[in-house]
Structure 1
Amino acid sequence: MKRLLLPILLVAAGVMSGCVYEYTDEDGYRMAVINEGFPVPKNAYEVKPEDCTTEIAKSAKYKLKGIGDEEGTPPEEYLEEIQSWGWTELEDKRVGHIHYYEKKGKIMSLIIQENVFDLFEMTDNIEL
């Protein structure tokens, strides 16, 4: 019985290492926890978000391998998906890897970094 334990543990470790959350456009998208109209990749793993401020009404933080490179450049397919959900990027407000989107008076901020991204729903009285 003890001889079988080691091979079973090795197989289990191999299976578990295959369950890495990684960005692929084929996996699709789901609604963000802070705004049902904003897409996030289906396989993004939610972690503890940043604290809200007077400018931020809600926040969510996600881990996802491959969502951004070292400079925070997001996959083009993700940006296209956001637009297909009806969000318009406020390109003149973009600062580095911080993107702002507007839809029906709501403003969302998307901050992409390597393997992690933050999503913020801005307060109604924000001046960009």
Structure 2
Amino acid sequence: MKRIAGILIIGVWLLSGCSYTFAHEDGYRMAVINEGFPVPNNAYEVKPEDCTTEIAKSAKYKMNNIGDEEGTPPPEYLKEIEKWGWTEMLDERVGNVHYFKKNGKIMSLIIQRDVFDVFEMSDEVKL
């Protein structure tokens, strides 16, 4: 019985390891904090950062190969965000922190190698 359980655990681990890698073809879904902001379908949600006076809502996702060493997001992901109606605020970008605006809302996207954060900025923040 222990052997079967061990094999099942290893099998699930191997399958999940393969499914959490960025691939534009896998599509996109709504972020848990904002229904109008896309995240890759196969991104795995983990415990988000705490909110502050500047951040109204936050979500953290784990996904292999989402960004490079400098935190550059895949170009396909940026195009998808634009397709969903968000405009990048290029003048406000700081390193790997990207800001997007739509209908008066500001979202922040912070990409790292295998993890990314999505923040809905509070209405008090004016960029």
TM-score, normalised with respect to structure 1: 0.89
Unpaired runs of 5+ residues, structure 1, are: none
Residues in 1 aligned to 2:78 and 2:22: alpha-carbon distance in whole angstroms: 13
- 1:61-84 deviation digits (Å, cap 9, x = unpaired): 000001011111111000000000
Residues in 2 aligned to 1:7 and 1:117: alpha-carbon distance in whole angstroms: 35
Give the one of 9, 15, 21 matched to 1:18: 15
Superposition CA RMSD, Å: 1.8
- 1:20-40 deviation digits (Å, cap 9, x = unpaired): 211101110000000000000
Query: Identity over the aligned pairs, expressed in percent?
Result: 66
Structure 1 residue ranges (4+ consecutive) displaced by more than 2 angstroms after TM superposition: 5-16
The residue matched to 1:17 in structure 2 has which SS?
Answer: helix
Count of residue pairs the alignment pairs up: 125
Question: How do 1:13-92 residues align onto structure 2 when only pairs under 5 Å count?
Answer: 13-14=10-11, 16-20=13-17, 21-92=20-91
Unpaired runs of 5+ residues, structure 2, are: none
Whose radius of gyration is greater, 1 or 2?
Answer: 1
The residue matched to 1:46 in structure 2 has which SS?
Answer: strand
The residue matched to 2:16 in structure 1 has which SS?
Answer: coil
